[in-house]
Amino acid sequence: MTNQDIISKIKTIVTPYTQRKEGLSEFNESTNFLNDLEINSANLVDVVLDVEDEFDIEIDNESMEGMMTVGDARDIINKKLAD
């Protein structure tokens, strides 16, 4: 799976939780979930659960706390898929 495939899947996952839809038009690895998309912290937990289901991985709390941007999420997903 390429990095672009992962980013595309992340975009699909976060879209329903995004309050600031303009952020989706500029969606890239530096997009911040809280600032650019205005996903609230409760919904961020839902995003993590959806990512776990989509990629069949488990994201620990420490990794979850570091998942602030699309690039962070991609890196965590790649690391978990490689384990």
Which pLDDT does position 23 carry in this prediction? 95
pLDDT digits over 22-77, tens only? 999 999 999 999 999 999 989 999 999 999 999 999 999 999 999 999 999 999 99
Q: What is the C-alpha separation between 54 and 10, in angstroms, rounded?
A: 9
What domains, with CATH codes, occur in the chain?
A: 3-82 (1.10.1200.10)
Task: For residue 73, give the amino acid letter.
Answer: A
Which pLDDT does position 48 carry in this prediction? 95
Tell me the DSSP string of the chain.
--HHHHHHHHHHHHGGG-S-THHHHT-STT-BTTTTS---HHHHHHHHHHHHHHHT----HHHHHT--BHHHHHHHHHHHHH-
Which pLDDT does position 70 carry in this prediction? 98
Question: Could you tell me the two tokens for 60?
Answer: 């620990």
Which pLDDT does position 8 carry in this prediction? 97
What residues does 32 pair with on adjacent strands? Answer: 69
Which pLDDT does position 41 carry in this prediction? 87
Given a cut of 90, is residue 13 above it in pLDDT? yes
